[in-house]
């Protein structure tokens, strides 16, 4: 029987969230709120306008279906008021204003089941990744909370000239949250970005945004990459090395990192978030080919 638990997601600020209608260009002015709207009215083969009712205060229920660590296991997100399914990727807003963003936990720290949003399934639930029909696990525990930024997308048709011309990996942007608490699958946290790592995985660009939850005891101490080195010494190197080496036990080559193998600062991380939010906007507008990706 599916278990259901309620998680309190990041509360909205009084600042309005940008919301564009289908007849307007999906352009984000610099340093403004990123796109946040609900496209549940979107039907892939229709030409009807988008619904423009963002979940500004996403009180959500997380509904687990199927036994954990099985091929059938899914974690669905439900709107707290209506009980209807929503997409954690598309329907939870990216930004809350004032440099605060929503982060959705896929993999709790000190665990190794490789959980991810199923970008090709309706409502994009969280599931355990598979390879050749078998569940995937990291060879050892990940030491940080790991997940995604909603309403972002790394466009596989766009080459990044700053990172060896690598193309996007066709997924939302990943977040490595360095706070002390182990979080739960499906938890929605308010975070502030601190740095960015440009991982290149089998030729694809796979950004890692290093961030901290605002409720962490050390959150007030860190605001940029240098603060991470000061208050979390060795953490950025440990993150880079973990993601560089985790495929080696399976006989694969190590991943590589662009930008001189070093973490970029907060401003650069915000630039990446802004650009990938713009790419996501084009995706849900269907200005680019979605392929097998689910847009609802």
Partnered with residue 192 across adjacent β-strands are 212
CB burial of residue 165 (10 Å; 0-12, 13-18, 19+): exposed
Q: How far is the CA of 63 from the CAs of 41, 60, 112, in angstroms? A: 22, 10, 21
Catalytic residue among 137, 138, 140, 146: 138
Phi, psi of 34 (to 5 degrees): -80, 165
Q: 181 is written with which tokens?
A: 């608490």
Half-sphere exposure of 240 (CA within 13 A, CB side): 17
Q: How many other β-carbons are positioned within 10 Å of the β-carbon of residue 245? A: 13
What sign results for the dihedral spanned by CA atoms 194, 228, 147, 242? positive
C-alpha 43: how far from chain center: 23
> CA 28, 34, 35, 37: dihedral to nearest 10 degrees?
-160
Any catalytic annotation for residue 123? no
Distance CA 192, CA 97 (A): 11
Q: How far is the CA of 175 from the CAs of 98, 159, 172, 201, 272, in angstroms? A: 19, 21, 10, 16, 12
End-to-end CA distance of the chain: 25
CB burial of residue 112 (10 Å; 0-12, 13-18, 19+): middle
Catalytic residues: 138
């Amino acid at each position: 029987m599916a278990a259901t638990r309620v998680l309190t997601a990041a509360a909205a600020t009084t600042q309005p969230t940008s919301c564009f209608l289908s007849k307007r260009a999906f352009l984000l002015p610099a340093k403004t709120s990123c796109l946040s709207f609900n496209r549940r009215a979107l039907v892939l083969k229709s030409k009807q306008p988008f619904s423009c009712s963002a979940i500004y205060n996403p009180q959500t229920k997380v509904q687990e279906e199927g036994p954990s660590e099985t091929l059938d296991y899914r974690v669905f997100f439900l709107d707290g008021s209506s009980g209807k399914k929503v997409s954690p990727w598309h329907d939870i807003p990216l930004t809350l204003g004032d440099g605060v963003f929503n982060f959705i936990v896929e993999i709790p720290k000190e665990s190794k089941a490789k959980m991810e949003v199923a970008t090709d399934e309706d409502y994009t639930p969280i599931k355990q990744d598979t390879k050749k029909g078998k569940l995937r696990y990291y060879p050892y525990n990940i030491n940080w909370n790991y997940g995604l930024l909603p309403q972002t997308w790394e466009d596989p048709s766009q080459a990044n000239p700053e990172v060896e011309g690598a193309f996007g990996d066709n997924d939302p942007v990943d977040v490595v949250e360095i706070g002390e608490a182990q979080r739960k699958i499906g938890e929605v946290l308010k975070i502030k970005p601190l740095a960015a790592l440009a991982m290149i995985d089998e030729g694809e660009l796979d950004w890692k945004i290093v961030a901290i939850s605002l409720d962490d005891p050390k959150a007030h101490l860190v605001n940029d990459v240098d603060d991470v080195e000061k208050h979390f010494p060795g953490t950025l190197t440990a993150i880079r090395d973990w993601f560089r080496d985790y495929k080696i036990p399976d006989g694969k080559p190590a991943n590589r990192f662009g930008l001189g193998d070093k973490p970029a600062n907060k401003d650069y991380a915000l630039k990446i978030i802004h650009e990938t939010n713009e790419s996501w906007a084009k995706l849900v507008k269907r200005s680019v080919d979605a392929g097998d990706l689910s847009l609802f």
